[in-house]
Amino acid sequence: MTMYEFTVVLRDVPEMTFELSDALYEAGCDDCTPGSSGGVSKVDFHREAESFEAAVRSAIANVQAAGCVVERVEIEADAAMLKA
């Protein structure tokens, strides 16, 4: 499998709280780093999957299971794929 790096930006979450971080972890986001800056909350993922699409789809499902709405997914051209 391949490791993929991407960021999920959350809608209407101006600040990442400890409670939300815990909810994300409990929902299966144990491979992410949550944070916020400038009134925007983001979740940086390092997810292992069969494909980039599978990695993003599973991350979105986990974020939604934690009660959040995904605004968008961001990737950096040179960081989207890492060899496992």
Q: pTM of the predicted model, to two decimals?
A: 0.88
- Quick one: fold of 2-82? Alpha-Beta Plaits (3.30.70)
- Tokens for 46, please give them: 């390092």
What's the rounded Cα separation, in Å, for the pair 34 and 78? 21
pLDDT at 78: 67
What's the rounded Cα separation, in Å, for the pair 17 and 20? 5
* Each residue's pLDDT tens digit, 16-60: 999 999 999 999 999 999 999 999 999 999 999 999 999 999 999
CA nearest to 65, candidates 25, 15, 34: 25
At 82, give phi and psi (nearest 5°). -125, 145
